[in-house]
Amino acid sequence: MTFLKRNMMNLIVINSDKFGLRFFQGFVLAIMLVLITGCAGVNNAERQSTSQSVSNASQPIRSVQALLIYFEQLRQLSAVDLTKEIERARKNHQRGKSVFYQLQYAMALSFPEGDARHAQQLLEPIVKDNLQVSRPVHALAVLLHTNIVERLRLELLNQSQANALQMQTLRADEFKNKLDALREIERKMLQRDSVVKP
């Protein structure tokens, strides 16, 4: 306590002098700068390690964002350009063999000009093995796979309904032809009866 009082008295004595006041302000400023830069150095190191971990964690998110942007670009292509893009995506996938290129190729194939069954086959290994890919990439693959499977199911259902409708139309035409034949027979019988009666 006496040490603190003695230092306070020294500060008061220094403060009474103009030179001492400037010296004191400079000294306090220098100490504050040292503390701030020291904290900034620690903060900078923390920021670098944090930014690296955030960068590593955000890498899959950036991949998913890039794939979603790619999907939006695919939606805007004409049929001819989409066919060219499917071929380009196929070559990238063959060359790179990465999950990113695999998803790109599957996305391109998922459009009507592509081959949805082949897209489904490309996505199945990613969907089944969620340990090899990050969560966001796996979630996107599951979403795309589910969409394709559902679309293929609806196409199959639509095709079977179209086939059933075609069969019903053929049966209806067959019944109509039989009915027309019976009416013709009935008409001829009525004509014969009218000729025989006079």
Q: Within this chain, do residues 50 and 104 fall inside the same structural domain, yes or no?
A: no
If one counts the domains in the chain, the total is 2
- Give residue for tokens 């979630």: 139
Half-sphere exposure of 87 (CA within 13 A, CB side): 6
> Is residue 71, in this structure, part of any structural domain at all?
no
| Residue-level pLDDT at 166 | 92
> Is residue 16 located within the same domain as residue 97?
no
Do residues 15 and 103 both lie within one domain?
no
Say if CB 60 and CB 134 are below 8 A apart. Answer: yes
CA distances to 2, 25, 88, 90, 139 from 118, rounded to whole Å, are 85, 75, 16, 11, 19
Q: Do 130 and 177 fall into the same domain?
A: yes
191: in domain? no
- Tell me whether residue 105 is in a domain: yes
- Are residues 89 and 32 part of one domain? no
What are the start-end ranges of the H helices in the chain? Answer: 2-16, 18-75, 79-96, 99-109, 116-128, 135-196
Domain region containing 11: 2-56
**Three-state SS at 26:** helix
Q: What is the pLDDT of residue 84?
A: 94
Paired tokens of 47: 């920021």
Instruction: Return the number of other C-beta atoms located less than 10 Å from residue 112's C-beta.
Output: 8
Under a CB-based contact definition with an 8 Å cutoff, are residues 24 and 11 in contact?
A: yes
Residue 62 domain-assigned?
no
**Residue 91 falls inside a structural domain:** yes
pLDDT in tens, 31-89: 544 445 444 444 444 444 444 433 445 677 888 899 999 999 999 999 999 999 999 99
pTM of the model: 0.57
